[in-house]
């Protein structure tokens, strides 16, 4: 373990790294900054947490990723200072739930997020990032084409990466849900359905005299189309209904 003076210097470097990154950082990333064993980094970070008890920020840890985060009580006072931030953190947390579970019942989002979610959803609808359709006594919420373009997301993996990087990804089983909108199919089957909508159609009966395409050719053709417009290949159902 480094001596007290050296440890204090490493603490300051870690603090500076977390401050300038403004996102969750892994132990591996922090190791590249201070070059000391990960267990020692973790110990320093744990000792740092009480330091922020009387500050406007806090040091949080989630899945061995560390971040300096503004305390909820002070977000509303300073969020206007970040012009790129169009939504409060609370609204973004609601949006992440909708995005991960889309399509999802509005009542399920409200059950998880509380009545404040109504205002969040209203704001997201007004911005066009979410669309709503009536179903029974509730509404079904979907992400939209504008959502994909706004966050520059073109795949489920990119969606997960973005919200995880921002510390907004749902974590509990209640938040992630087995499936959206009360449907029986899982998210993986929904992905397969989306993919099947983009699969090349079989040739019409009046064109059967043409040579049949080999599966590899079809896959290559689909891949080419995906590279031209990844939104279409990964979220065709979103785009079609937006």
User: What is the per-residue pLDDT across 49-74, written as a single tens digit (0 to 9) for each?
Assistant: 999 999 999 999 887 889 898 888 88
188 to 178, 179, 180, 214: CA distances (angstroms): 10, 9, 11, 26
Q: Report the sign of the C-alpha dihedral through residues 119, 122, 123, 124, in that order.
A: positive
The pTM of the full predicted model, rounded to 2 decimals, is 0.45
Fold category of 4-74 in CATH: Arc Repressor Mutant, subunit A (1.10.10)
Answer CATH for 86-176 from 1.10.10.10, 1.10.1610.10, 3.40.50.2300, 1.20.1260.10: 1.10.10.10
Q: Cβ-count burial of 115 within 10 angstroms (0-12 exposed, 13-18 middle, 19+ buried)?
A: exposed
Looking at per-residue pLDDT, the higher value among 128 and 166 belongs to 128
Pairing of strands 65-70, 25-26: antiparallel
Nearest to 124 by CA among 107, 144, 151, 103: 144
Residue 202 has a pLDDT of 44
Q: Where in the chain is the domain with CATH 1.10.10.10?
A: 4-74, 86-176
The string of pLDDT tens digits covering residues 21-41 is 777 888 999 999 999 999 999
């Amino acid at each position: 373990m480094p001596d007290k003076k050296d440890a204090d210097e490493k603490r300051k470097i870690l603090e500076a790294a977390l401050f300038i990154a403004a996102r969750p950082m892994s132990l591996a990333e922090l190791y590249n900054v201070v070059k000391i064993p990960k267990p020692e980094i973790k110990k320093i970070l744990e000792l740092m947490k009480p330091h922020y008890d009387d500050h406007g920020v806090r040091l949080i840890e989630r899945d061995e990723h560390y971040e300096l985060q503004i305390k909820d009580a002070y977000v509303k006072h300073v969020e206007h200072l970040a012009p790129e931030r169009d939504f409060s953190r609370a609204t973004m947390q609601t949006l992440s739930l909708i995005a991960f579970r889309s399509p999802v019942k509005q009542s399920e989002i409200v059950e998880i997020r509380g009545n404040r979610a109504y205002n969040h959803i209203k704001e997201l609808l007004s911005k066009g990032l979410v669309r709503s359709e009536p179903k029974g006594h509730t509404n079904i919420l979907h992400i939209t084409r504008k959502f994909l373009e706004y966050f520059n997301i073109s795949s489920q993996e990119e969606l997960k990466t973005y919200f995880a990087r921002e510390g907004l990804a749902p974590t509990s089983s209640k938040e992630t849900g087995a499936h959206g909108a009360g449907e029986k199919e899982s998210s993986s089957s929904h992905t397969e359905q989306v993919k099947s909508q983009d699969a090349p159609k079989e040739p019409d009966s009046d064109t059967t005299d043409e040579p049949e395409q080999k599966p590899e050719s079809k896959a290559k053709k689909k891949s080419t189309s995906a590279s031209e417009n990844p939104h279409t290949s990964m979220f065709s159902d979103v785009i079609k209904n937006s």
